[in-house]
Amino acid sequence: MSRPRQRVFSDSMNLCDRLLPTVDTHATLLSTLPDPMAYTPLFYGVLQSVIKASSHYPRVMEGLATALLNIHDALSRPSDPTLISNAVPHITKTYALIFFFLTEFMDWYVRRSTCQLLNMHSQDVYSEFHHLVLYIQLQARNLPWQHATMDVDEEMEDPYSPRALWEQSRLSQVGRRGKDRRIAAQNTITRRLIWEIQQDAEERTRYREGRDRLLAETLSSVREQLQPVSEQSSGIVCITTPPAPNIDTSSFEWSRGSKRRLGRLEIQSSSKHLQDFFDNDDQICDYKPDVKVVAEGNIVASLQQWATSSRSQALAVGGTQPTASLDPVALISACYASFARQARLPVISHFCTLPSQEAKGLNLHERGLIALTYSIIRQLIDWLPPVVDSDAVLDLSAERFRQLDGTLASWKAALSLVDTLLQSAPPLLVFIIDGLDAIHNPSTDGAIRELVRVLLTHTRRQPQGGLNGQGPTLLMKVLFTVTGGPSALVETMSEHTLILGESKPNQPTPSGSVLTSDLGAVMMNA
Taking only the tens place, the pLDDT of each residue in 8-19 is 667 778 888 888
Mean pLDDT for the stretch of residues 102-106 = 96
Residue 284 lies in a domain: yes
Alpha-carbon distance 334 to 326, whole Å? 11
Query: ∠ CA 153-157-162 to the nearest 5 degrees?
Result: 125
Question: Within this chain, do residues 278 and 408 fall inside the same structural domain, yes or no?
Answer: yes
Cβ neighbors of 329 (< 8 A, separation 6 or more) are 317, 318, 319, 322, 434, 481, 482, 483
Query: Is the model more confident about 495 or about 276?
Result: 276
* Chain centroid, CA 1 distance in Å: 19
State the first-to-last Cα distance of the chain, in angstroms, to the nearest integer. 32
Cβ neighbors of 264 (< 8 A, separation 6 or more) are 381, 382, 384, 385, 386, 387, 388
Question: Within this chain, do residues 76 and 212 fall inside the same structural domain, yes or no?
Answer: no
What type of residue is 348? I
Question: Within this chain, do residues 141 and 218 fall inside the same structural domain, yes or no?
Answer: no
> Could you write out the DSSP letters of every residue in 325-363?
SS-HHHHHHHHHHHHHHHTT--EEEEE----SS-BTTB-
pTM, 2 dp:
0.86
Question: How many residues comprise the chain?
Answer: 526
Q: Are 421 and 380 in contact (CB under 8 A)?
A: yes
Residue 174 lies in a domain: no
Question: Within this chain, do residues 96 and 218 fall inside the same structural domain, yes or no?
Answer: no
Cβ neighbors of 197 (< 8 A, separation 6 or more) are 385, 386, 387
Phi then psi dihedrals of residue 476, to 5 deg: -120, 125
Alpha-carbon distance 27 to 49, whole Å? 17
Out of 97, 127, 156, a domain closes at 156
Neighbours of 296 (CB within 10 A): 23
Question: Within this chain, do residues 282 and 417 fall inside the same structural domain, yes or no?
Answer: yes
Q: What pLDDT, on the 0 to 100 scale, is given for residue 244?
A: 43
Question: Within this chain, do residues 152 and 218 fall inside the same structural domain, yes or no?
Answer: no
Residue 377 lies in a domain: yes
Mean pLDDT for the stretch of residues 497-504 = 44
Alpha-carbon distance 42 to 48, whole Å? 10
Confidence bin at 497 (pLDDT 50/70/90): low
Alpha-carbon distance 456 to 408, whole Å? 22
Residue 394 lies in a domain: yes
Out of 156, 178, 195, a domain closes at 156
Q: Which helix (H) or strand (E) holds 419?
A: helix 411-422
Q: Which of 152-161, 231-240, 287-296 has the highest mean pLDDT?
A: 287-296
Q: What pLDDT, on the 0 to 100 scale, is given for residue 507?
A: 45
Return the HEC string of 177-225: CHHHHHHHHHHHHHHHHHHHHHHHHHHHHHHHHHHHHHHHHHHHHHHHH
Confidence bin at 357 (pLDDT 50/70/90): confident
Question: Within this chain, do residues 267 and 409 fall inside the same structural domain, yes or no?
Answer: yes
The total domain count for the chain is 2
Query: Is the model more confident about 122 or about 388?
Result: 388
Residue 178 lies in a domain: no
Question: Within this chain, do residues 150 and 227 fall inside the same structural domain, yes or no?
Answer: no
Residue 231 lies in a domain: yes
Question: Within this chain, do residues 151 and 220 fall inside the same structural domain, yes or no?
Answer: no
Residue 270 lies in a domain: yes
Cβ neighbors of 496 (< 8 A, separation 6 or more) are 241, 244, 524
Question: Within this chain, do residues 146 and 213 fall inside the same structural domain, yes or no?
Answer: no
Q: What pLDDT, on the 0 to 100 scale, is given for residue 486?
A: 80
Residue 179 lies in a domain: no
Mean pLDDT for the stretch of residues 219-237 = 72
Out of 123, 156, 189, a domain closes at 156
* Chain centroid, CA 265 distance in Å: 15
Residue of 244, 212, 239 lying closest to 299 (CA atoms)? 239
Question: Within this chain, do residues 129 and 213 fall inside the same structural domain, yes or no?
Answer: no
Question: Within this chain, do residues 312 and 405 fall inside the same structural domain, yes or no?
Answer: yes
Range of the domain at 98: 4-156
Q: pLDDT tens, 430-466? A: 999 999 999 999 999 999 999 999 999 888 765 444 4
Neighbours of 168 (CB within 10 A): 16
Q: Which of 115-129, 211-225, 509-523 has the lowest mean pLDDT?
A: 509-523
- 352 pLDDT above the threshold of 70: yes
Alpha-carbon dihedral sign for residues 85, 86, 91, 93: positive
